[in-house]
């Protein structure tokens, strides 16, 4: 198993993991990574990309004081094999190495129950703040909560 930064040649493989990702989003992440604002990480197993995540070093609007995990996504056929947990552990390690003691993420606890349970199992806690619209995808509002973990 190998965890590495995504490079510009990975677009088609990333699209296999998350078919709705577009080239504009992908290119923006590559550019932000080159600037040092994010790490766009992929987990590769036997040469096949299984899972990716965006680690944002400047956090998010609701919690800019610590890094934030965004868009953890595992290929549908590979879910339940601990790839996502492994990538989260790598993000936590990177965050600790940069001197932070907390990491965050957002999740829709109603529409993405399995992810919410995973994050709780990995030690993330709801911040207790009210839900907010994280975005609108295909005309549907994505209502999320913030979660955080001391590391």
Tens digit of each residue's pLDDT (9 = 90 or more) over 96-118: 999 999 999 999 998 888 899 99
Using only C-alpha atoms, the chain has a radius of gyration, in whole angstroms, of 15
The alpha-helical segments, DSSP class H, found in 7-141 are 11-17, 23-35, 83-97, 113-121
Q: What pLDDT does 142 receive?
A: 76
141, pLDDT greater than 90:
no
Of the pLDDT bands very low, low, confident and very high (cuts 50, 70, 90), residue 74 is very high
Q: What pLDDT does 111 receive?
A: 86
Q: What is the pTM of this model?
A: 0.93
Answer yes or no: are the C-beta atoms of 14 and 49 closer than 8 Å: yes
Domain boundaries, the chain: 2-150
Q: What pLDDT does 44 receive?
A: 96
Answer yes or no: are the C-beta atoms of 6 and 30 closer than 8 Å: yes
What mean pLDDT is predicted for residues 69-94? 95
Determine the CATH number of domain 2-150.
3.40.630.30
11, pLDDT greater than 80:
yes
134, pLDDT greater than 90:
no
Residue 99: phi and psi, rounded to 5, are 90, 5
Pairing of strands 48-56, 132-137: unpaired
Pairing of strands 2-5, 48-56: unpaired
Of the pLDDT bands very low, low, confident and very high (cuts 50, 70, 90), residue 46 is very high
Cα 138 → chain centroid: 20
Of the pLDDT bands very low, low, confident and very high (cuts 50, 70, 90), residue 132 is confident
Strand partners, 107: 145
């Amino acid at each position: 198993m190998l965890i590495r930064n995504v490079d510009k040649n990975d677009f088609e493989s990333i699209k296999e993991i998350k078919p709705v990702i577009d080239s504009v989003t992908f290119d923006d992440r590559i550019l932000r990574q080159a600037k040092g604002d994010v790490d766009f990480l992929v987990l590769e197993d036997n040469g096949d990309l299984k899972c990716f995540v965006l680690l944002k070093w400047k956090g998010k609007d609701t919690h800019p004081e610590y890094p934030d995990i965004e868009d953890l996504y595992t290929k549908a056929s590979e879910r339940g094999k601990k790839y996502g947990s492994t990538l989260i552990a790598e993000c936590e390690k990177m965050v600790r190495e940069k001197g932070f003691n907390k990491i965050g993420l957002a999740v829709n606890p109603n529409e993405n129950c399995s992810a919410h349970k995973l994050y709780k199992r990995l030690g993330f806690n709801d911040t207790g703040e009210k839900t907010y619209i994280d975005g609108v995808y295909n005309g549907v509002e994505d209502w999320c909560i913030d979660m955080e973990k001391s590391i």
